[in-house]
């Protein structure tokens, strides 16, 4: 039997936060490409519905793990799946994420710790688990969903996403020669449930700044397949981030988020 590689249809992709927004779209496009999928999120009912939809639409196997990725037991369940040598996972998408509406000093520190854990510690732990098998097989793909916020001084969300960006750059350099591609996908504002969940007023952001999940994911997957360390979907955000990198922090920090 030929070994599966991360690009072979039929290989397995695990996507966190796979029931809504960007994660659901990653799962859909990967299933469409012929990959088996493992879907992770907290809501078991929604996971089952998403899995059934993918199996019906693309005839691919869809497994689910109901897990809270801010919780050690939830992380351990996903680590166990990633570490099972009998069922290798060739593609990992660290996507689950949340936003906090209020400024840092006004947030409960427990909320901030969960936010940091979900974006950084969980992604680090899942990447570490997945890499063990990927490096052994000399084949694998890891996508870390960061944000254009990683390039901006915008609170703890930016700081967490900057960690993912920096980690992806160094991991891609370290592991490319060993067959593993690591990419930070850095979307700008994208229509998903993210802003409604955090209670943000979406009308305060101009329409031209909004992207569709379908475009973000297809560009992110294509850039990862090419071995790029950083993917910034859409021309407009490529230009905006290039400009942001040379402007003083005060100019790019922007106004505080407005609640609904």
Catalytic residues: 157
Judge contact between 38 and 81, C-beta under 8 A. Answer: yes
CA 144 – CA 223 distance, rounded (Å): 12
Contact between 111 and ligand NAP by CB under 6 A: the answer reads: no
CA 80 – CA 6 distance, rounded (Å): 19
Instruction: Indicate the burial class of 116 (C-beta count within 10 angstroms; 0-12, 13-18, 19 or more).
Output: middle
Contact between 82 and ligand NAP by CB under 6 A: the answer reads: no
Q: Nearer to ligand NAP by C-beta: 68 or 112?
A: 68
Q: Nearer to ligand NAP by C-beta: 120 or 131?
A: 120
x/- binding map, residues 197-216, to ligand NAP, per CB under 6 A?
x-------------------
Q: Which of residues 7-66 bind ligand NAP (CB under 6 A)?
A: 16-23, 41-43, 46
Q: What is the smallest separation between the CB atom of 171 and ligand NAP, expressed in angstroms? A: 17
The 10 Å Cβ neighbour count of residue 216 is 27
Contacts 24+ apart (CB under 8 A), 250-258: 252/152, 252/153, 253/152, 253/153, 253/154, 254/152, 254/154, 256/103, 257/101, 257/200, 258/200, 258/201, 258/204
Q: Nearer to ligand NAP by C-beta: 137 or 188?
A: 188
Judge contact between 195 and 188, C-beta under 8 A. Answer: no
Q: For ligand NAP, which residue of 48, 79, 98, 252 counts as binding (CB under 6 A)?
A: 98
Contact between 236 and ligand NAP by CB under 6 A: the answer reads: no
Q: Nearer to ligand NAP by C-beta: 23 or 137?
A: 23
Q: Nearer to ligand NAP by C-beta: 139 or 155?
A: 155
x/- binding map, residues 160-199, to ligand NAP, per CB under 6 A?
---------------------------x-xx-xxx--x--
Q: Count residues binding ligand NAP (CB under 6 A).
A: 29
Q: Nearer to ligand NAP by C-beta: 58 or 237?
A: 237
Q: For ligand NAP, which residue of 13, 145, 152, 165 counts as binding (CB under 6 A)?
A: 145
CA 6 – CA 185 distance, rounded (Å): 18
Contact between 224 and ligand NAP by CB under 6 A: the answer reads: no
214: left (phi over 0), alpha (psi -120 to 50) or beta: alpha
Residues 6+ apart with CB under 8 A from 18: 24, 26, 27, 37, 39, 40, 41, 47, 50, 95
Count of positions (residues) in the chain = 260
Contact between 96 and ligand NAP by CB under 6 A: the answer reads: yes
Residues that bind ligand NAP (CB under 6 A): 16-23, 41-43, 46, 68-70, 95-98, 118, 145, 147, 187, 189-190, 192-194, 197
């Amino acid at each position: 039997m030929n070994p599966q590689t991360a690009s072979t249809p039929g290989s397995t992709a695990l996507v966190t936060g796979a029931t809504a927004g960007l994660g659901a779209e990653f799962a859909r496009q990967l299933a469409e490409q012929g990959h088996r999928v493992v879907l992770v999120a907290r809501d078991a009912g929604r996971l089952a519905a998403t899995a059934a939809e993918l199996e019906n639409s693309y005839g691919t196997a869809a497994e689910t793990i109901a897990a809270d990725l801010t919780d050690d037991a939830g992380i351990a369940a996903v680590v166990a799946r990633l570490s099972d040598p009998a069922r290798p996972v060739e593609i990992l998408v660290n996507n689950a994420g949340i936003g906090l509406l209020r400024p840092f000093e006004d947030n409960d520190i427990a909320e901030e710790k969960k936010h940091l854990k979900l974006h950084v510690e969980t992604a680090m732990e899942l990447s570490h688990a997945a890499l063990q098998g990927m490096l052994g097989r000399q084949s694998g793909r890891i996508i870390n969903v960061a944000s254009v916020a990683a390039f901006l001084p915008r609170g703890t969300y930016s700081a967490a996403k900057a960690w993912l960006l920096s980690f992806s750059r160094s991991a891609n350099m370290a592991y490319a020669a060993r067959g593993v591609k690591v990419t930070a996908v850095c979307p700008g504002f994208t229509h998903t449930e993210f802003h409604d969940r955090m209670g943000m007023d979406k009308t305060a952001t101009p329409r031209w700044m909004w992207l569709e999940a379908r475009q973000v994911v297809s560009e992110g997957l294509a850039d990862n397949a090419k071995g790029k360390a950083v993917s910034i979907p859409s021309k407009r955000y490529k230009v905006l981030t290039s400009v942001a990198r040379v402007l003083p922090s005060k100019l790019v920090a922007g106004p505080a988020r407005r609640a609904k």
